[in-house]
A = this chain, B = another copy of it.
Amino acid sequence: MTVSKAAPIHAAAKASRPARKEPADAATESTALELGELSEHLGYALKRAQLKIFEDFLRCVAPLQLTPAQFSVLMLLDKNPGRNQTEIANTLGILRPNFVAMLDGLESRDLCARVRSTNDRRSHILMLTDKGRAVLARAKKLVATKHEARLNELLGPANRAALLAMLATIAREF
Instruction: Give the interface segment out of A43-51, A100-108, A110-118.
Output: A43-51
Please tell me if the beta carbons of B23 and A93 are within 8 angstroms of each other in the complex: yes
Q: Which of B32, B42, B151 contacts A164 (CB 8 A)?
A: B42
Which A residues are within 8 Å of any B CB, using their own CB?
A: 1-7, 9, 13-14, 23-24, 26-27, 31-54, 56-57, 68, 72, 75-76, 78-80, 83, 86-88, 90-93, 140, 143, 147-148, 150-151, 154-155, 159-171, 173-174
CB pair B171–A38 under 8 Å, yes or no, is no
Within the complex, the shortest CB–CB distance from A18 to chain B, in Å, comes to: 13
Are the CB atoms of A42 and B93 closer together than 8 Å? no
The residue from B24, B46, B162 contacting A91, defined by CB atoms under 8 A apart: B24
Q: Which residues of B contact A47 (CB under 8 A)?
A: 50, 54, 68
Question: Could you tell me the distance between the alpha carbons of A51 and B167 in the complex, rounded to whole angstroms?
Answer: 11
| Other-chain contact of A169, B79, B147, B154, B167 (Cβ < 8 Å) | B154
Knowing A87-B27, A143-B41 are in contact, say whether A4-B3 is a contact too (CB < 8 A).
no
